[in-house]
């Protein structure tokens, strides 16, 4: 129990190393599944512990904060780890069932490394450690993206890697500047140090904060830095794209963590960033909606819907009130699971349509059109935010929480219009896929896999289930938002009972 | 001392930026490498520059330099080394798959 906060990193890490040592694919699958299942009790214990407003702090090597590296599991971290656990298990079922993992030798090892990196980023309480976990999840994602062959994949991954390496350079510059001005990289200690930046260093600290924000905005795919996402996500194989659905959420998590925990004692330090966030978020919704209209493939439509969801989430975060953050935290699991499900379903449909794949052209009739169509309908309703599923509740909560703000009307127009666009495009796609098949084309027979079907079914059902459990989830989200905005609890947990450490590095 | 380090970082960043804007994959890899050198120097300098000051508290009377940035630099060097190796391998594979050394993967379209 004492070592609980480090388990979400250790379990996938050990599984990844075991997968590299394991020879056969069957053995790798077994190890990978075992790790995915072992994560469930860990996530549930973390969630249960966090639900009592208990902030678990794991001090690696027993070096007291702020000297050593710490892991912190508060409500937000526990929620994100649970989400990644759930998504990883279902995506793994699809990858193994559909044979994606047979396209290369190290799919499962890379997959588990990616989970370790994602969970680490959610749990760490140290900025440099966050950089390290970013690199772990990115390196694994580079491998997963290039997994299998194809011209489009090679082109997309080269651009993706160069972009992210440039972002890593910016991240390190920000880390160096922050260490130079604040003298610490521990998040809780930085929050305190922001209140007493030495005179003359404010500009440097401000530059560093802006650079950090640019890096997270790139991961989250915020407006000027979102154009890479549709091409990369639509080029990736479906299970990889589904797993990537949570990678943009790592960026969003970091922006949320930065704008709450880091600036609790000195909100002014976030000044330049917070002024920009709202217009950029609204712009992201708009550009995502335009991308949805311009897409020629179902996977491309979904990738652009990921951009739209980033915009909606950042509108909620930019508003900065407890209610808005809570709304965003309800919307976040919904959009992650729904877009992941849609990526898997798009690949499933594409495989059954044979050569035309998921391109938006008339193709052969689908076998089992009724079952596939029902899943598609549920997902389309969930994703575009129509009642009665989780998309509607999430968007309603976000819209309600921003009603009285200055940017409220703009955000309302953008979010409602993007929902309408998504609905129109998805309906048009459905009529192409399900109602206007070219009769003469032969129906390709597709080997069915129970694993794959179950994974897609469960992910699709997440929309209705999240709607059914809306009340407890919204309560948890509200309590999480309160904990984040109160802020003091985080620092108090990190530094223990004693008053804050007053250590400063000799200049 | 400070001015030398500052000029070195500035030169490395300028060269690196120029190179990552080139169209050949090889130049881009070189550019990223130079940028990571610059960043490593910057991290090192963030602990304040001091001559003849070991990062160890052997003798309290001697001056010490901050050991943390040196540890950070070590980690950053290892990571950027691994990333560069991966990028080089990926660029080679993209050459094979796409048949072009251009970073955007398009065919040569220069006049």
Q: Does B88 touch chain A (CB under 8 A)?
A: no
Q: Do B94 and A150 touch (CB under 8 A)?
A: no
ipTM of the complex: 0.92
Q: Find which of A161-170, A445-454, B64-73 is predicted with most confidence, using mean pLDDT.
A: A161-170
Q: Do A179 and B72 touch (CB under 8 A)?
A: yes
Mutate which of B20, B46, B74, B96 to test chain A, going by most A C-beta atoms within 10 A?
B46
CA B95 from chain center: how many Å?
A: 24
Is B60 part of a structural domain of the chain? no
Q: Which of chain A's residues have a Cβ under 8 Å away from the Cβ of B46?
A: 176-177, 179-180
The overall average pLDDT reported for chain A is 87
Q: Does A413 touch chain B (CB under 8 A)?
A: no
Q: Does A195 touch chain B (CB under 8 A)?
A: no
Is B82 part of a structural domain of the chain? yes
Q: Does A51 touch chain B (CB under 8 A)?
A: no
Nearest partner of A173 among A203, A202, A198, A209, judged by Cα: A209
Rounded Cα distance between A366 and A351, Å, is 10
Is B57 part of a structural domain of the chain? no
The pLDDT of residue A150 is 74
Q: Do A505 and B36 touch (CB under 8 A)?
A: no
Q: Does A150 touch chain B (CB under 8 A)?
A: yes
Q: Does B91 touch chain A (CB under 8 A)?
A: yes
Q: Does B45 touch chain A (CB under 8 A)?
A: yes
Residue B44: closest CA among chain A residues belongs to which residue? A176
Q: Does B25 touch chain A (CB under 8 A)?
A: yes
* pTM over cut 0.90: yes
Q: Which of A132, A139, A154 sits opposite B97 (nearest CB)?
A: A154
Q: Which of A158, A166, A507 sits opposite B25 (nearest CB)?
A: A158
Q: What is the share, in percent, of chain A residues with pLDDT greater than 90?
A: 53
Read off the pLDDT band of B97 (50, 70, 90): confident
Domain span at B14: 2-50+67-99
The pLDDT of residue A319 is 87
Residues 167 through 186 of chain A touching chain B, CB cutoff 8 Å = 168-169, 172-173, 175-177, 179-180
Mutate which of B45, B55, B79 to test chain A, going by most A C-beta atoms within 10 A?
B79
The overall average pLDDT reported for chain B is 85
Q: Which of A149, A177, A505 sits opposite B97 (nearest CB)?
A: A149
Nearest partner of A233 among A337, A344, A312, A127, judged by Cα: A344
Higher pLDDT, A504 or A187: A187
* B57 DSSP 8-state letter: -
The pLDDT of residue A313 is 94
Q: Express each pLDDT in A208-229 by its tens digit.
A: 988 999 999 999 999 888 889 9
Read off the pLDDT band of A480 (50, 70, 90): very high
CA distance B73 to chain A (A): 10
Q: Which of chain B's residues have a Cβ under 8 Å away from the Cβ of A146?
A: 90, 93
The pLDDT of residue A499 is 39
**Statement: residue A498 has pLDDT above 60:** no
The pLDDT of residue A368 is 78
Q: Express each pLDDT in A376-430 by its tens digit.
A: 999 999 999 888 898 999 999 999 999 888 888 999 999 999 999 999 999 999 9
**Statement: residue A112 has pLDDT above 50:** yes
Average pLDDT over residues A148-176: 88
Tokens 């003091």 belong to which residue? Answer: A488
Q: Which of A135, A158, A172 sits opposite B43 (nearest CB)?
A: A172
Read off the pLDDT band of A440 (50, 70, 90): low
Q: Which of B39, B48, B83 sits opposite A173 (nearest CB)?
A: B39
Nearest partner of A292 among A393, A390, A380, judged by Cα: A380
The pLDDT of residue B98 is 74
**Statement: residue A121 has pLDDT above 50:** yes
CATH number at residue B72: 1.10.287
The pLDDT of residue A18 is 94
**Statement: residue A189 has pLDDT above 80:** yes
Q: Quick check: bond before A490 cis, omega within 30?
A: no
Is B110 part of a structural domain of the chain? no
Average pLDDT over residues A5-27: 92
Read off the pLDDT band of B111 (50, 70, 90): very low
Q: Does B32 touch chain A (CB under 8 A)?
A: yes
Read off the pLDDT band of B58 (50, 70, 90): confident
**Statement: residue A502 has pLDDT above 60:** no
Phi-psi region of A496 (alpha: psi -120 to 50; beta: other; left: phi over 0): left
Average pLDDT over residues A140-158: 83
Q: Which of chain A's residues have a Cβ under 8 Å away from the Cβ of B94?
A: 154-155, 157-158
Is B85 part of a structural domain of the chain? yes
Rounded Cα distance between A496 and A445, Å, is 62
Q: Express each pLDDT in A327-379 by its tens digit.
A: 999 999 999 999 999 999 999 888 888 778 888 888 787 777 888 889 999 99
Q: Do B45 and A507 touch (CB under 8 A)?
A: no
Phi-psi region of A354 (alpha: psi -120 to 50; beta: other; left: phi over 0): left
Mean pLDDT lowest among A9-18, A64-73, A75-84 = A64-73
| Number of domains forming the structure of chain B | 1
Mean pLDDT lowest among A88-102, A284-298, B7-21 = A88-102
Rounded Cα distance between A32 and A18, Å, is 9
Q: Which of chain A's residues have a Cβ under 8 Å away from the Cβ of B68?
A: 179
Q: How far is CA A308 from CA A28, A222, A373, A405, B17, in A?
A: 36, 9, 24, 20, 31
Q: Does A166 touch chain B (CB under 8 A)?
A: yes
Is B15 part of a structural domain of the chain? yes
Q: Which of chain A's residues have a Cβ under 8 Å away from the Cβ of B93?
A: 146, 154
Is B46 part of a structural domain of the chain? yes
Is B39 part of a structural domain of the chain? yes
């Amino acid at each position: 129990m004492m070592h609980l906060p480090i388990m979400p990193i250790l379990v996938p890490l050990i599984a990844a190393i075991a997968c590299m040592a394991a020879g056969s694919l069957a053995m790798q699958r077994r190890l990978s599944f075992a790790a995915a299942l072992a994560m469930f009790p860990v996530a549930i214990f973390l969630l249960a512990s966090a639900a009592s407003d208990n902030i678990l702090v794991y001090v690696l090597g027993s070096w007291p904060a702020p000297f050593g590296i710490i892991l912190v599991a508060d409500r937000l971290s526990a929620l994100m780890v649970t989400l990644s656990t759930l998504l990883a298990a279902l995506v793994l079922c699809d990858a193994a069932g559909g044979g994606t993992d047979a396209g290369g030798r190290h799919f499962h090892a890379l997959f588990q490394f990616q989970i370790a990196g994602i969970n680490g980023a959610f749990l760490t309480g140290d900025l440099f450690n966050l950089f390290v976990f970013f690199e772990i999840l990115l390196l694994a994602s580079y491998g997963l993206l290039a997994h299998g062959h194809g011209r489009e994949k090679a082109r997309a991954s080269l651009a993706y890697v160069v972009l992210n390496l440039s972002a890593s350079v910016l991240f390190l510059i920000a880390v160096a500047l922050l260490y130079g001005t604040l003298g610490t990289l521990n998040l809780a200690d930085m929050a305190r140090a922001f209140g007493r930046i030495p005179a003359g260093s404010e500009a440097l600290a401000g530059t560093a904060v802006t650079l950090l924000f640019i890096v997270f905005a790139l991961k989250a795919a915020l407006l000027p830095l979102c154009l890479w996402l549709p091409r990369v996500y639509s080029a990736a194989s479906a299970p990889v794209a589904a797993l990537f659905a949570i990678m943009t959420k790592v960026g969003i998590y970091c922006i949320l963590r930065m704008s709450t925990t880091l600036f609790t004692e000195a909100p002014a330090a976030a000044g330049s960033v917070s002024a920009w966030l709202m217009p950029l978020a609204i712009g992201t919704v708009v550009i995502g909606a335009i991308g949805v209209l311009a897409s020629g493939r179902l996977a491309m439509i979904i990738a652009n819907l990921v951009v739209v969801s980033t915009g909606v989430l950042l509108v909620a975060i930019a508003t900065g009130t407890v209610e808005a953050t809570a709304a965003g935290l309800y919307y976040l699991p919904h959009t992650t699971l729904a877009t992941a499900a849609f990526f898997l379903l798009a690949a499933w449909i594409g495989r059954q349509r044979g050569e035309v794949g998921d391109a938006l052209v008339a193709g052969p009739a689908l076998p089992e059109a009724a079952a596939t169509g029902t899943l598609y309908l549920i997902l389309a309703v969930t994703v575009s935010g129509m009642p009665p599923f989780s998309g509607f509740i999430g968007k309603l909560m976000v819209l309600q929480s921003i009603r009285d703000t200055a940017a409220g009307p703009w955000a309302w127009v953008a979010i409602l219009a993007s929902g309408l666009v998504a609905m129109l495009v998805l309906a048009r796609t459905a009529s192409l896929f399900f109602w206007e098949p070219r009769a003469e084309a032969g129906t390709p027979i597709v080997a069915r896999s129970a694993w794959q079907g179950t994974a897609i079914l469960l992910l699709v059902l997440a929309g209705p289930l999240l709607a059914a459990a809306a009340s407890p989830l919204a309560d948890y989200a509200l309590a999480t938002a309160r904990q984040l905005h109160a802020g003091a609890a985080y620092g108090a947990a990190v530094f223990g009972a004693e008053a804050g450490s007053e250590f400063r590095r000799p200049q | 001392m400070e001015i030398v380090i500052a000029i070195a970082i500035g030169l490395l960043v300028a060269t690196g930026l120029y190179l990552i804007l080139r169209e050949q994959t090889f130049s881009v890899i070189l550019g990223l490498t130079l940028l990571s050198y610059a960043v490593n120097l910057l991290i090192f300098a963030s602990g304040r520059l001091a001559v003849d000051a070991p990062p160890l508290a052997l003798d309290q009377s001697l001056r010490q330099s901050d050991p943390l940035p040196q540890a950070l630099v070590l980690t950053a060097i290892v990571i950027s080394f691994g990333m560069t190796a991966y990028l080089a391998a990926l660029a080679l594979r993209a050459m094979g798959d796409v048949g072009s050394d251009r970073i955007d993967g398009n065919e040569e379209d220069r006049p």
